[in-house]
Amino acid sequence: MAVANEKQGCLSVIFPFLKRSQKETTSNALPYRLRDDFLSPAEFSFYKVLFSLVGTRLTIQSKVRLADVFFVARPNENVAYFNRIAQKHLDFLVCDSVTMKPLFGVELDDSSHKRNDRQERDEFVESVCKVAGLPLLRLPVQREYNSREIAAQIAPFVSDKISASASPQPEVNKQVSSVPVCPKCGIPMVLRTVA
């Protein structure tokens, strides 16, 4: 924060735009405001239908950044891949309420998705989801959504989570190699020791 009796440097005399006013450094001057419409009317309509179908058995997250859902293997070597997902998001992410494991994503496609740049973005998001193993449901934007249609479309992703008779599947024995492998990214682990 600037202090009133603080000395100004010679550059601030030559370049007056370098001067910091006290007003600019206070928290009241920050240009942030709370949005009235976090979700668009179509997104909110879809959210209400989806929530009516899954209730508290599943957790619905909205506007989730891809970089918060997916990680990049070998991040130091693949910075460009991280940058490609850092600024993109899914409209909705449905997770298991107990583990918060993502079950499937939802993208609501409005008329902007007909543009070439949006189609390229959509193809990229679909490929990321496919490679990482997250099902992605694409739906056209509507003013109102039919709960039966939505239930039928999400059923393949949540039938075992919503039905009360779901029982855990026994884990299949996996071959054990001499070098342990990271269960998430498949990269061989290295034992590090302190010298």
Beta partners for residue 58, in sequence order: 96
The residue ranges of every structural domain in the chain are: 41-157
pLDDT (tens digit per residue) in 107-143? 999 878 788 888 999 999 999 999 999 999 999 999 8
pLDDT (tens digit per residue) in 153-188? 999 999 777 654 344 444 444 444 566 777 666 667
Helical (H) or strand (E) element with 109: strand 102-109
Gap between the Cα atoms of 129 and 115, Å rounded: 21
> Quick check: 118 and 112 in contact, CB under 8 A?
yes
The mean of the pLDDT values for the chain is 82
Higher pLDDT, 17 or 130: 130
Burial of 162: CB neighbours in 10 Å, binned 0-12, 13-18, 19+ = middle
pLDDT (tens digit per residue) in 42-82? 999 999 999 999 999 999 999 999 999 999 999 999 999 99
